Amino acid sequence: MSQLQSARDVLANVFGYDAFRPGQESVIAAILAGRDVLAVMPTGAGKSLCYQIPALVLPGITLVVSPLISLMQDQVGALIQNGVRAAYINSSLSERQISLALYHASRGAYRIIYVVPERLMTLHFLQFARQAPIAQVVVDEAHCVSQWGQDFRPGYLQIEPFIRELPARPRVSAFTATATLDVRKDILRLLALQNPFEATTGFDRPNLYFEVRRGGDRDAQLMRFLQEHRGQSGIVYCGTRKGVEEVTRMLVDEGISAVGYHAGMGDEVRQQAQDDFVSDRVPVIVATNAFGMGIDKSNVSFVVHYNMPKDLESYYQEAGRAGRDGEEAVCCLLYQPSDVRLNTFLIEHSMEDNQLEAQTKRVVLERARERLRQMTFYATTKGCLRTKILQYFGETPQNTRCGHCSACLAVRGERDVTRQAGQIVSCVLAMQGRYGKGTVVSVLLGKRDARIHERKLDRLSAFGCLRDEGEGNLRAMIEELIADDVLELTQGEYPLLKAGARAMETLRGDEPIHMAFEVQETTGRTRRQPVIDKVLFARLSALRREIAEEQHVPPFIILTNATLRDMVVKQPASRREMLRVAGIGENKLERYGDAFLREIKRYQAERENGHARKV
């Protein structure tokens, strides 16, 4: 049997999938043929299988260098569930346990061994590695070798010397989701890859729906979003620790089950929060960007950014934690102009106690500012969001409207706003350029608050003149008028709204002004999943949780949501049919097949007798 045929068998029998995802097969073929590989694939594309399948087809051992303990624990846990002999070696084990693991390893107990890079050059590990039949060295998160990335990890520089220590050079494969050219060059050079097969899978994640919600009150926006996504599991990212605490409190007060997570919390509390979220006990986690690296929960249905991050790299990485199981998921960014000010401040201050020389500092600072500009463009553009992301990562999408983001689905219209524009200008003139946007909007809307009363602004003739427009529209119009030089916003901490160069012609109404306006469609927004039997899904998911708790592992390691869903759709009645469910391989059939078959049968019988209960 050809090796590639064996690879397909492993895919079906061990992992329970019937087809490769884009990019997987060619990478696997290259590794099997003995070549080095550099594979750049986005999160969720299925990188692990690309080296795990060759590991099971090739004779010998596969070493996987990986940066994070939690990540390897999940990976090894998932492999064991599929009946693969795997182990990890890292500082969560005692020296004695490590010796024991290496002893077993040298006697051929494991096909796949995960190891942190710092361990490689230790005497003990080298001794083991020099006499073991190592067929493949895999470098996971390979961008950690590059100083261009944010995740530079000095230990990664030991990988190449380690490989040279081996009596026979194994094939080396490197995997990352970071695509920039500088990082790729570093990976090729610092790992000394030899004539590698290079694979780049598109960066698109078709199952993610992107949306930006602008203006209005952030808290109200968030609450509305969470109402729309009730019962789903997701992450809310906040820009600051304080933000995490306030938002968590608000959600809990509103009766939403949520936990907070940031680096300033005690280790124990933080670990508990993470466990609650990963094991599906609490559906929503509110976190700073400290949360996520190394967390491998695949059934995250949404990621909301309460604040805009500093660049699209961060945004796409964090948002990309949604939908790793391939299910439909939503990535929503809440944007307010104050986000730009906060990020500018953070960028400038991050440079202050930096040891870089002045010239380098200037370059680094300028790059950071440019990245922020691009991020802001994403948050404010009327163009397709997916296209913007893909272009940023160097791709040229064939279609510049994806049809699956909030910009593409916004219903556009145009209206004549010549009269309204004139009224806005006249109001700004009457207020003599002494107030900010918020106050101007309040006057136009005719809001009577203490401040307005005190300043006698309610006596202006413009007071309440655009009361029917609504705040969102007014703000949008003012933004457009600023962009057209009709109005001007001053610099500084409290920007003031003044008349701009083209104020007078607008006041006279010389030329009609048209503005595009958007109506957000709220229905038919996401490509709907096929309707499935929710009651059965809930019952199977309860069974999964029971099994997970018995084994002290997160539920998605037992079976992913995608697998449960497929099971609900197919409702297998026999072990043979069970094997056709995506994600059920021979080992999982053996371990859990009967329990799930029983539950399905019981459910069907109850339904026939007309008393299927909800759990």
Which positions touch ligand ADP (CB under 6 A)? 17, 20-21, 24, 41, 43-49, 298, 324-326, 560, 582
Q: Which does 405 bind (CB under 5 to 8 A by kind): Zn ion, ligand ADP, none?
A: Zn ion
The least CB distance from residue 263 to ligand ADP, in Å, is 23
State how far the Cα of 268 lies from the Cα of 260, in Å rounded to an integer.
13
As a whole number of Å, the CA-based R_g of the chain is 28
Contact 322/330 with Cβ under 8 angstroms? yes
Nearer to Zn ion, 88 or 378 (CB): 378
Considering only 386, 475, 539, 588, the residue that binds Zn ion (CB under 5 A) is 386
Residue in 613, 601, 562, 608 with CA at minimum distance from that of residue 16: 562
Q: Give residue 134's region: left, alpha or beta (phi > 0; psi -120 to 50).
A: beta
| Residue 405 contacts Zn ion per CB under 5 A | yes
Q: Which range binds Zn ion by CB under 5 A, 3-11, 91-99, 133-141, 397-405?
A: 397-405
The least CB distance from residue 91 to ligand ADP, in Å, is 23
CB-closest chain residue to ligand ADP: 46
Contact 88/72 with Cβ under 8 angstroms? yes
State how far the Cα of 606 lies from the Cα of 111, in Å rounded to an integer.
44
The least CB distance from residue 15 to ligand ADP, in Å, is 7
Q: Which does 298 bind (CB under 5 to 8 A by kind): ligand ADP, Zn ion, none?
A: ligand ADP
The least CB distance from residue 398 to Zn ion, in Å, is 13
Considering only 137, 159, 402, 567, the residue that binds Zn ion (CB under 5 A) is 402
Please name the helix (run of DSSP H) or strand (run of DSSP E) that holds residue 507, with its range, or none.
helix 503-508
> Across the strands, what pairs with 38?
174, 198
> Across the strands, what pairs with 305?
237, 333
Contact 316/378 with Cβ under 8 angstroms? no
Tokens of 501: 């160069």
Nearer to ligand ADP, 336 or 560 (CB): 560
Considering only 144, 287, 331, 384, the residue that binds Zn ion (CB under 5 A) is 384
Q: Which does 386 bind (CB under 5 to 8 A by kind): ligand ADP, Zn ion, none?
A: Zn ion
The least CB distance from residue 559 to Zn ion, in Å, is 32
3-state helix, strand and coil shares in percent for the chain, rounded to the nearest 5: 50, 15, 40
Q: Cβ–Cβ contacts within 10 Å for residue 325, how many?
A: 21
Question: At which residue do the structure tokens 């050059």 appear?
Answer: 121
Nearer to ligand ADP, 41 or 63 (CB): 41
Nearer to ligand ADP, 48 or 374 (CB): 48
Question: Per-residue contact track with Zn ion, 336 to 375, x per CB under 5 A?
Answer: ----------------------------------------
The least CB distance from residue 210 to Zn ion, in Å, is 7
Nearer to ligand ADP, 324 or 544 (CB): 324
Query: In a 10 Å sphere around its CB, with 0-12 CB exposed, 13-18 middle and 19+ buried, how is residue 374 labelled?
Result: middle
Q: Which residues contact 91 (CB under 8 A, 6 or more apart)?
A: 69, 116
Q: Which range binds Zn ion by CB under 5 A, 39-47, 119-127, 328-336, 376-384?
A: 376-384
Considering only 375, 379, 408, 589, the residue that binds Zn ion (CB under 5 A) is 408
Q: Which does 402 bind (CB under 5 to 8 A by kind): Zn ion, ligand ADP, none?
A: Zn ion
Q: Which does 49 bind (CB under 5 to 8 A by kind): Zn ion, ligand ADP, none?
A: ligand ADP
Give me the count of residues in the chain: 615
Gap between the terminal Cα atoms of the chain: 48
Nearer to Zn ion, 215 or 397 (CB): 397
Nearer to ligand ADP, 44 or 593 (CB): 44
State how far the Cα of 47 lies from the Cα of 321, in Å rounded to an integer.
15
Q: Which does 309 bind (CB under 5 to 8 A by kind): Zn ion, ligand ADP, none?
A: none
- The CA–CA distances, whole Å, from 277 to 259, 281, 294, 410, 535 equal 8, 6, 14, 33, 22
The least CB distance from residue 154 to ligand ADP, in Å, is 23
Nearer to ligand ADP, 48 or 526 (CB): 48
Nearer to ligand ADP, 149 or 326 (CB): 326
Q: Which does 384 bind (CB under 5 to 8 A by kind): Zn ion, ligand ADP, none?
A: Zn ion
State how far the Cα of 36 lies from the Cα of 159, in Å rounded to an integer.
14
State how far the Cα of 161 lies from the Cα of 119, in Å rounded to an integer.
13
What CA dihedral angle connects 518, 520, 526 and 531, to 10 degrees?
A: -140
Nearer to ligand ADP, 428 or 557 (CB): 557
Interface residue list for Zn ion (CB under 5 A): 384, 386, 402, 405, 408
